[in-house]
Structures are given as structure tokens and as C-alpha cells.
Amino acid sequence: MRHIHIIGIGTGNPEHLTVQAINAMNAADMVFIPTKGAAKADLAEIRRDICDRYLTREGISIVEFEVPKRAAPERNYVQTVDDWHAAIASLYEGLIGDLPESGAGAFLVWGDPSLYDSTIRIIERVRDAGIVAFDYSVVPGITSIQALAASHRIPINLVGKPVEITTGRRLAETGLTQASTVVMLDGEQAFSTIAEPDAEIFWGAYLGTEHEVIRAGRLGDIADDIVRLRAEERARHGWIMDIYLLRKGRDFEA
């Protein structure tokens, strides 16, 4: 039976790969590399670099494919994402079907496949369709949360306090409700609307890459600077991946 390896590759530093990830890549007959247009060519190039560094077994094919673009929401966000996943699943079905009957393929997933990534659920959708038979396994990777904390040299949690992981869209709806809130997928800079000026923000973009940039401080003091810097970096590179931690309170406070 065909087998698919879903491999977390970290946030841009080829040295993020674990030994388990390297072994899984070398067990594959095909390694699938997504491309997302010229604006995000760096993301594909980092995956190519990873393959050049770590693929040691002869005969492994590199198969690049263009990821369908997600449409602007016409009805609601969930339906738009569902339609987008259906389009990607159809593409994955063809890629997996091109494997030999007992062959293996590998999808290289940014960060970790379990955290704000849909490769696992899309692979499940393909398998449930029953057109092509295969099994799959998941190899964890370093997340952008871990990379952010390492770059700022901080723990994510305050002692005895919970941690929330959410999106910019949700943060804008709910506000800052926890002592520590990690925010991903925030294209609208929701942190700049939070009425908690004394909260701390730890922000980072392009984590793990040579373009990494980080900022930290009192939210009321540096929010505008981060908005400006984010716009400049996006204009410079044509894309941006960023993440931040909002924190209020201190260790050992009641």
C-alpha cells in the first residue's frame, strides 16, 4: 500500500529538522514541494535547500506543485476554507495516485502539521474519498511558537497561568482574555486594537530564516512601530509570516 509521510520541517531554518524527519524524507520515493507563486518563492526555495542538504538516498523524485489560491470569502470563512481544501484534496489525490502501489511520498509542512496547518485534514479527506488507497504517518516539527520563544529567550507561560493559542480574527472579537495569548494568522494586526496598553508583546517575523526580525516591549509603546515595520518587511519580501505573544501580569502574581 502507498504511504504518505507528513513531515514538520520547522519555520525556515534547515537545522530545525529532526533526525526522524530526515529519515522519513529518505524513506520516500517522491517528495512533494508546494509553490505559491513568485511572491512566496522563498518558501519553496527553503524546502529545496532542505532536500539538497538531507536527501541522501538515490532515486528520490522532487515533485513541485502549485497550491490553489483561496478565494475571498463570499459566504462565510468556514465555507470558503472548506472549498479551498476540496480543491487541494483533488490535487493531492493526483499526486498520491502517481506513486507506485507500494511507494511512499512526503509532504514537507512548515512548522508542525498539528498547529494551524491543514495538511492532515486534507490527507484525511483524500483517504475518505476512497479513490486511491494509502496510509500515512505524521512527523512533528518545531513550531513558530517555539521559535518565537527561543528568539526572545522567554517561556511562553507565566507560572500557574494558562496559555491561549488563537488567531488575529478571534483576538479582535474577544480581546485579551488570558495571561498569555499566542496569536497566529493575523493579517490585520489585531494587537493594535487591544485596549491593554500595559500588556507586553513579543513579536517576530520570518522566524528561523536569515530575514528574522523580532521586537518586544510594552504594547502601548511599540504597537505602532510593529505595524510600520511589518508593512515595510512585507513590501520588501512580497510576503510575511509573523506571530506574537501578548502577556499581561507577572510570574507568581495572584
- Residues 175-231 pLDDT 10s: 999 999 999 999 999 999 999 999 999 999 999 999 999 999 999 999 999 999 999
CATH number belonging to domain 144-247: 3.30.950.10
Confidence (pTM)? 0.91
Farthest-apart Cα atoms in the chain, separation: 60
CA distances from residue 175 to 65, 86, 98, 197, 213 in whole angstroms, order as listed: 38, 32, 47, 12, 25
Residue 214, all three cell numbers: 523580532
Question: For 31-83, what is each residue's pLDDT tens digit?
Answer: 999 987 766 778 889 999 999 999 999 999 999 998 888 766 656 778 888 88
Contact between 3 and 134 (Cβ < 8 Å)? yes
Q: Quickly list H helices, 131-203.
A: 144-152, 168-174
Residue (of 24, 26, 46, 44) closest to 35 by Cα position: 44
Question: Coil, helix or strand for 160?
Answer: coil
Q: Where exactly are the structural domains of the chain? A: 2-139, 144-247
- Name residue, grid cell 532515486: 59
Domain 2-139 coded CATH 3.40.1010.10: yes
